[in-house]
Structure formats: structure tokens, C-alpha cells
Amino acid sequence: MSRVAGRGSIWTMGMAWALLLLGATAAGLEDRCLSGGKHKPSPSSEEQLGVCQIYAESACCSPEIAQDLSKANDIYWNRCGHLSSRCEKYLEQVECFYRCSPIAAQWPHPQRPTALLAVPLCQGFCDRWYDACKDDLTCARNWLTDWHWGPDGNNCSQDCISYGQMYQNGKELCETIWDDTFTVSTDPCECLTLTASDIGSHPHLRDNTEEPEIAKAKGSKREGRLVPGRLCTGNLLLQRLRRNMQKRSVFMEDVEGSGSGF
């Protein structure tokens, strides 16, 4: 009996150590920023982030970076004239996410360390972005490859046409404008709206605001918001770690409460 109890104690200690390692790894994935690109090494609070204020409690950017987002990525947005305020708002949301969001680093690009790969955007967000910009003008379809670069930054390499002519719909806009940075998801739990509702998955942030139009359209099942018991954001490794932690925690509780002596 003592041998059984001894083996049980060793097994319990081993499981506890494994859970500790899993927790540390998961936390490490969340508590870091994207490499380079003037990002901080890890997120920290900032008082004033202007249009990126939703990330102020835990930001990967500095106030200086957030001051002029239209030039933050060395790409000027207005090469075909000034954008409408509605259209510019969506470009600001995209840039704020890349520069400041504490969860952006969960989608690192394997070939470009300062870039993102396949960040899942909600179909509804992309449709609204397209609707807001469809009458504005642009001269580049892929904003990473289609510019003519000169001493003053990006310049048009083709004629200016409307967003509505450049892209067929919101899905094409989201999945093309920043190359392979974004992908579109129709699952409202497995996508982002680039608003405060996205960052509810981060342990240091509160999820207490969202776009009113989203709440009205979706009711209780809101885009980009975590649903209890479901994993709505994060890369596959982080999801797998969390699932393992949940399963092992339940198993440990069952064993400890069974009266088996383990």
C-alpha cells in the first residue's frame, strides 16, 4: 500500500509540474509582442494612445507610434486623395491592431518575423470595411507589393480607382490588401473585429465595450467576443495547451476527490 501511495504521490507531483510548465508556456505566448516593427518586447500600459486607446491598458506600441498611424507603416493611405472618415477609421483599426494589440503576436508570420499571418477577421467586419471604403480611391490592390517606392515613400504604380472597383467584396478586401496578413472567418466566435471585444481573451484586459452595431446585429452571439467554454482567439499551439490544461485539471480533481489515496 505504501508503494502505491508513493507512486501516486510521484505521479501527482509530476502532473502538477507538467501543468505548471503548460501554464508558463501559454502565458509566455500571450505576454509578448510581435518582433520588430517598433513593437515593445512585451505589452505594458500607456496613458494616451489616441485612436488606439482601446489597447492602452496593455499595449505593444508607444504613444509616439500611435500619433500618426497614416505613416506608421511607411505607407501613406492618401496617395489618391484624402479618404473619407468612415474609410480611414477601418484603416486605423487595422493599423492599431498590428501596432498595439497584445494578442497580435499569436499570429506570427514564419517567413517575416515583423509580420502577421492569417489573422482571422470576422466576415461582418470585412463587409463593413468594404462598405465604408467602396467609394474611396486607391491605386494598389496589395499594399505590400503593388507600390512604386521612391524617396518620399510609396507612390502609385497604376491609376486610382475606387475600392469597389479594386475589390469585389469584403472578403477579397480583407484577404488581399495586406497580402496574407488576414483571412476571413464566418464563425462569430472564431474571428476578430479589431475592437475592444477581441481583447477579452487577454488576462490583463477587460472586455467591457464593443461596437453598438455589432451588438444589435448579433444579439447574444457577438462577433469577436469569447463565449464561455469556447476558445475564440489564439494560435493552434496556445489552444492545444489550454485544452490540455483544462482536461488535466478536471482529471486531477476527479482523482483527488475519488478517495483512492493517490
Q: Which residue has the higher pLDDT, 211 or 96?
A: 96
Q: Which residue has the higher pLDDT, 18 or 44?
A: 44
Cell 505613416 maps to which residue?
Answer: 71
pLDDT of 215-234, one tens digit each? 333 443 455 543 333 444 44
Residue 120: pLDDT band by 50, 70, 90 thresholds? very high
Q: How far is CA 179 from CA 118, 159, 174, in A?
A: 10, 20, 9
Q: What is the mean pLDDT of residues 236-262?
A: 36
**Taking CA 31 as the corner, what is the angle to CA 29 and CA 37, rounded to the nearest 5 degrees?**
90
Reading the block at residue 247, the C-alpha cell is 482536461
Question: Residue 138 in contact with residue 164, Cβ under 8 Å?
Answer: no
Question: Judging by DSSP bridges, how do beta strands 137-138 and 148-150 pair with one another?
Answer: unpaired
Cα–Cα distance measured from residue 192 to residue 201, given in angstroms and rounded to the nearest whole number: 11
- Classify 261 in phi/psi space as left (phi over 0), alpha (psi -120 to 50) or beta: left
E strand map for 88-232: 119-122, 137-138, 148-150, 153-155, 161-162, 182-185
pLDDT of 91-104, one tens digit each? 999 999 999 999 99
pLDDT of 162-190, one tens digit each? 999 999 999 999 999 999 999 999 888 88
Helices 236-256 and 2-30: angle between axes, nearest 10 degrees: 150
Which sequence spans correspond to the domains of the chain?
32-203
Phi, psi values for residue 64, rounded to 5°: -65, -40
> pTM for the full model?
0.69
Phi, psi values for residue 116, rounded to 5°: -115, 155
Cα dihedral 208, 214, 219, 222 sign: negative
